Chain A
Amino acid sequence: MNAIDWVVLATTILGIAGWGIYRTRQTKSGSDYVRGSKALGWPTIGLSVMATQASAITFLSVPGQAYDDGLRFVQFYFGMPLAVLVVSAVVLPFFANQNVVTAYEYLEKRFDVRLRVVGALLFLTQRGLAAGITIYAPAIILSSILGLPLTYMNLFIGVVVIAYTVSGGTEAVSQTQKQQMIVILLGMIIAGVIVAMKLPADIGISGAATLAGATDRMIVVDTEFDLNNRYNLWSGLMGGFFLALSYFGTDQSQVQRYLSGKSISESRFGLLFNAVLKIPMQFGILFVGILLYAFHVFVPAPLHFNPTVETAMEASEVAGEWADLQAQWDEASAVRAQTAMEFVAAENADDRNVDYVYELESSYAELQARMDGIRSEAIALIEQAEPTLETKDTDYVFIGFVLNYMPVGLVGLLVAVILMAAMSSTASELSALGTTTSTDLYQRLFASGASERRMLVASKGFTMMWGVVALLFATWASLLDNLIEAVNILGSIFYGPILGMFLVAFMMKRAGGTATLIGAAVGQVTVLVLFFAEAPLGFLWYNVVGCLGVLAVTGLLVVVLPRMRMKAA
């Protein structure tokens, strides 16, 4: 990155953050800080919900995912519009009519304080750990590719996001997210257009799709039912539905976003904006990956996209074998590029000869398989020679293109896009963590009569505290590799039972607090048993099992034991 890129990067990020702080400098009461102005229209809510869900990893990994595996990842999002409809039609009115600040406050209004505290604690555990990873995951990639120390990257993301989130509360989060999301979407469109423009003239977008199609990268919908395969139509619709229902309906980082609407209608339209746009947006980002795949058919891809790994291997004991693989790779790349040109030309020819096209398509697919084989050998060599290095490199495909092939100025903009995506998700998380700690625990259990002024100081303090926790976690995460995986798994293990608790609250009018607590415990244990027994079940199905487990057990208790029922008010 050159000086112009750094200026673009700093201006975009600090400009938006500074604007957020300036806009919310008047926030003087605790309730304004956690509730916001309650004056937001649907465009701000819609972009804010979108920015919260889309983390930096969405923009870094998803193009690489399509580069490697094609478009089928989009099925993961098929259940989301239906879940958002349910949240908008059913869940939102429950929260809005009870005038709650957090989702867990609703649990107390419906059951009792125990459920509120359990809900809040589950959220704090899961989100509190995950917030660190939202910072760490992009920081490790950017530090590797920009050659900057990881600690600087963590500190830059963390300090900026803590500054505006602590200063202006939830209102500052929504206001900055609106600006950030607009820049992010524009940046991704520009990136897609530039990749398309850099394809050879004879290839174009349709040629890129032809090449991707020949290697099964254009499979969008897979109807084969397989419980262990996370990307097919059924797991996407069912598992994706329950995951999204839990995320949008019970996760305070989302609930806080849409509850800041001027009216229920504005909140609903903000949510529906996401139901309508999320799939095309993800498809667009995946398609950038398809274009990148075609781009690298003609501009040779490195053997490994992570420059740190390449450098380490070139200096390792197996440097000779690595160079050998590199030579094979370059040779196969050249042949593949030649065949690709002939294949696309034959496909687009006026007198298209089906047999000839088929023959070229087969040889193209064979060449791709050969290159995949060389890649597998390279990965095996890395594992053997440098077992501590990360072998997965899909996260580096998109950012590698940005840094090596984008024009000056736009490089800075695209790096800003990635950093802002990290900041916007982290901001929602910190704000939600601070709000939940201050209202559901501090105010409810220890300081029920606290003044507005005191609550403002407490909320700021707790938001700051979670920011520091996230930053420390991000700094130490590199030392604890397994911990990151554990945190990700933890998320999908807790989500189903939390959703189950809320669904009982909404749907089973007769269920009492004790029955729901027992149901939640049984649902949670069931998921844990399945997980530790290594049941052959894709992780999306844990959400379904956990949620239905809570509903079944609670329902049974209420039917069989009358004292488990809600006492008539």
Chain B
Amino acid sequence: MTKHPENEEQQAERAYNWPVIYGGVVVLLVGYIAVGFVITVWWT
């Protein structure tokens, strides 16, 4: 089976490591919730 050549946009897409970027956003969300916990515990 021949593979279709990638168009420019698909090549541009591959320039980014999406799983790492998405993972970063998830880590950040966990961080936000953790900061929320700390504020809650500190001031109550």
Contacts and interface: CB of A to CB of B under 8 A. Distances in A.
Interface of A: 71, 74-75, 78, 81-82, 85, 88-89, 209-210, 212-213, 216, 218-222, 233, 263-265, 268, 272, 275-276, 279-280
The 7 closest A-B pairs by CB, nearest first: A213-B43, A218-B43, A220-B36, A221-B36, A81-B29, A220-B39, A279-B32
A78 B13 contact: no
A218 B40 contact: yes
Given A89-B22, A220-B35, A275-B29, 18 more contacts: A78-B29, A78-B33, A81-B25, A82-B26, A85-B25, A85-B26, A213-B44, A218-B39, A218-B40, A218-B44, A219-B40, A263-B12, A263-B13, A264-B9, A265-B16, A268-B18, A276-B28, A280-B32
A6 to B, nearest CB: 40
A346 to B, nearest CB: 16
B25 A221 contact: no
Nearest to B23: A85
Contacts of A218: 39-40, 42-44
Interface of B: 9, 12-13, 15-16, 18, 21-22, 25-26, 28-29, 32-33, 35-37, 39-40, 42-44
Contacts of B42: 213, 218
A81 B40 contact: no
Given A263-B12, A265-B16, A216 B21 contact: no
A82 B30 CA distance: 11
A282 to B, nearest CB: 10
Nearest to A71: B39
A233 B9 contact: no
Nearest to B19: A89
A88 B26 CA distance: 13
A75 B40 CA distance: 12
B11 to A, nearest CB: 11
Given A216-B44, A221-B40, A264-B13, A89 B18 contact: yes
Contacts of B26: 81-82, 85
B34 to A, nearest CB: 9
17 contacts: A74-B36, A78-B29, A85-B26, A89-B18, A212-B43, A213-B42, A213-B44, A218-B43, A219-B40, A221-B36, A221-B37, A233-B33, A264-B9, A265-B12, A268-B18, A275-B25, A279-B32
A78 B33 CA distance: 8
Contacts of A71: 39
A272 B25 contact: yes
A74 B36 CA distance: 9
B37 A220 contact: yes
Contact of A82 (B13, B16, B29, B35): B29
Contacts of A81: 25-26, 28-29
A118 to B, nearest CB: 31
A209 B28 contact: no
B26 to A, nearest CB: 7
A88 B42 CA distance: 35
Contacts of A89: 18, 22
A129 B21 CA distance: 38
Contacts of B32: 78, 279-280
Nearest to A86: B22
Nearest to A206: B43
Q: Which of A218, A221, A272, A280: most chain B CB closer than 10 A?
A: A221
Contacts of B22: 85, 88-89
Contact of A279 (B12, B13, B29): B29
Contacts of A74: 36
A265 to B, nearest CB: 6
Given A272-B21, A276-B28, A219 B44 contact: yes
